[in-house]
Amino acid sequence: TKLFADRIGRIEVSATMAVTAEAAKLRASGVNLVDFGAGEPHFPTPRHIKDAAIEAINGNFTRYTVVSGIPDVRKAIVQRHASDFGSDYTPEEAVFTTGGKLAIFNLVQVLIDHGDEVILPVPYWVSYKDIIQYAGGQVVYLETEEAENFRISAEAVEKAITPRTKAIFLNSPSNPAGSVIAPADLERIVKLAHERGIYLFLDECYVYLQYTGALVSGGSFTEAKEHVIVLGSLSKTYAMTGWRAGYALGPKPIIAAMSKLQSQSTSSTAHFVQKAAIAALSGSQECVAEMRADYLTLRDQVLTRMAEIPGITCTKPEGAFYVYPNVSAYLGKPGAQTTLELAARLLHEGHVVTVPGEAFGTKEHIRLSYAVSHKDVDEGLDRMKAFFAKL
Ligand code: PLP
C-alpha cells in the first residue's frame, strides 16, 4: 500500500521557503548575506497595533472565538474596505483567516473541483498553482508581455476562457513583477466574469502598496459582487507577516462555506490577533502611507543601482516591493544554464539572496524583494555588480 495520498504529490514545497532555508543554512555557518529573498516588510509592526495586542492578552482575550472572526473585526474589515474602495460588503460577507494564504487556500478548496479550469497570469505568485492543483483544479496559464510590464488585458483573459473555466485568479499589484491592472481593464474583467458566470479571485494583499494611479479593488464594482471574491492580508500593509492575519470578502454562501471548512481545520485566529487587526484597520493609516513612501524610494534606488549592471534590464514595478530583472544575458553558460543555477551561485559566491524566476513561471528572471534597508540595497547591489562582472 502507498503511504501518501495523491493530493500531497500534486504540490511542491514553496520555492521562496526553500530559498529561505538554504540561506539560513549558509548564515548559520557564519556567512554574511544580503537578503533580497523574503517577501516581508523590514519594518517592525507599528506601535499602536502591538499595544492593542498586549492589552488584549492582559485583558484575557485568549480564548476561542467564533470561527469566522469576532463581529468587530469583520466590521472593521468591511468599513476599511468601503471607505478606501467604495465597496458595500456586510460583516456576513467577510471572514477573518489565519493569514491571507489561508483565505486563498480555503476559497480554492470550496469552489474548485477536479477538472475545473482556473486562469492564472504568468508570472504568478508561487502558491496559487500548488493550491489549485491540491484541489484537483487545472491551471490555465496566461502569458503576459515583459515589454508591457507584464500587464494583464481584458482581451487576453477573454481569449483564455473555455466552457470549463471556473475562475480567473488575479493579483494586483503583483508578486513578483509589481505590475498593476489598469482600472479600466479590471472593470472589463469583472464585467466579463460576471456576464459569463465565472468567479474572479482577486488577491489584493499589496493593494495599499501601489505607487501610481488610483487605488481600485475588485470589490469596487458592486454590481458584479456575486462573482468577485477579494482576498486581503494585513501582512504587508501593516508589517504583520508573523501575526497571521488575513481575510476574504465575497458572496455570503461562499464566505459561509469557507467558514465551514475553517471550522474543521484551524478554527478562529487568536483573539488578541483579531483585536490587533481591529486597531490596524480602524486606527490612523499614517503608518501605511509612511511605509509606502519608503518603499517607493527603495524601488527607485534598486532600479538606479541595477541599471549599473551591464546586460540586466528591469521593468519598472508600479506596486508591491519586488523587482523582477531579466538576467537572460548571463544565462546559457556552463554553471548558469537556468535562473535556478544562477540564483544558487549568486547566493553561494555573491552572498546575495534572490529567488529564481522558475518559481514564478518564467525562465529569464530573478526576483529581488526591496523590503530591506537602504544600506542593504547598496551593499547587495555592490555585491551583485561584482558577481556579474566576474561571471
Ligand atoms: N498573496 C501574495 C501575492 C503574497 O505575496 C503573499 C505573501 O507573500 C500572500 C498572498 C500571503 O500573505 P499572508 O499569508 O502572510 O497574509
Q: What was the ipTM of the complex prediction?
A: 0.99
On whether residue 52 sits in a domain, the answer given is: no
Alpha helix (H) ranges present in the chain?
Answer: 6-9, 15-28, 47-58, 71-85, 100-111, 126-134, 154-160, 183-196, 252-263, 271-282, 286-306, 339-348, 374-390
On whether residue 49 sits in a domain, the answer given is: no
**What separation in Å is there between the alpha carbon of 376 and the centre of ligand 1?**
23
139 with 251, same domain: the answer is yes
Q: Which residue has the cell 555585491?
A: 383
**What separation in Å is there between the alpha carbon of 231 and the centre of ligand 1?**
10
**What separation in Å is there between the alpha carbon of 199 and the centre of ligand 1?**
20
Q: pLDDT digit of tens for each residue in the chain (391 aa)?
A: 899 999 999 998 876 677 778 899 999 999 999 999 988 999 999 999 999 999 999 999 999 999 999 999 999 999 999 999 999 999 999 999 999 999 999 999 999 999 999 999 999 998 999 999 999 999 999 999 999 999 998 999 999 999 999 999 999 999 999 999 999 999 999 999 999 999 999 999 999 999 987 788 999 999 999 999 999 999 999 999 999 999 999 999 999 999 999 999 999 999 999 999 999 999 999 999 999 999 999 999 999 999 999 999 999 999 999 999 999 999 988 889 999 899 999 999 999 999 999 999 999 999 999 999 999 999 999 999 999 999 8
Domain limits for position 227: 62-282
Q: Is 174 in the pocket of ligand 1 (CB under 6 A)?
A: no
pLDDT at res. 282: 98
Of the candidates 282, 301, 323, which is a domain's last residue?
Answer: 282
Atom number of ligand 1 nearest to Cα 245: 16
Q: Is 133 in the pocket of ligand 1 (CB under 6 A)?
A: no
On whether residue 1 sits in a domain, the answer given is: no
Amino acid symbol at 203: D
254 with 355, same domain: the answer is no
**Count: domains in the chain:** 2
299 with 272, same domain: the answer is no
Of the candidates 260, 282, 304, which is a domain's last residue?
Answer: 282
On whether residue 53 sits in a domain, the answer given is: no
165 with 278, same domain: the answer is yes
Residue of minimum CA distance from atom 16 in ligand 1: 100
**What separation in Å is there between the alpha carbon of 100 and the centre of ligand 1?**
6
- pTM for the full model? 0.95
pLDDT at res. 175: 96
**What separation in Å is there between the alpha carbon of 291 and the centre of ligand 1?**
17
Q: Is 16 in the pocket of ligand 1 (CB under 6 A)?
A: no
173 with 226, same domain: the answer is yes
**DSSP letters spanning 168-211:** EEEESS-TTT-----HHHHHHHHHHHHHHT-EEEEE-TTTT-B-
The span from the CA of 368 to the CA of 355, in Å, is: 7
35 with 84, same domain: the answer is no
User: For position 208, which CATH number holds?
Assistant: 3.40.640.10
Question: Is beta strand 94-97 parallel, antiparallel or unpaired with respect to 246-249?
Answer: antiparallel
pLDDT at res. 20: 78
Of the candidates 250, 282, 314, which is a domain's last residue?
Answer: 282
80 with 28, same domain: the answer is no
* Closest to 69 measured CA to CA, from 92, 36, 45: 92
216 with 255, same domain: the answer is yes
359 with 234, same domain: the answer is no
pLDDT at res. 335: 83
On whether residue 51 sits in a domain, the answer given is: no
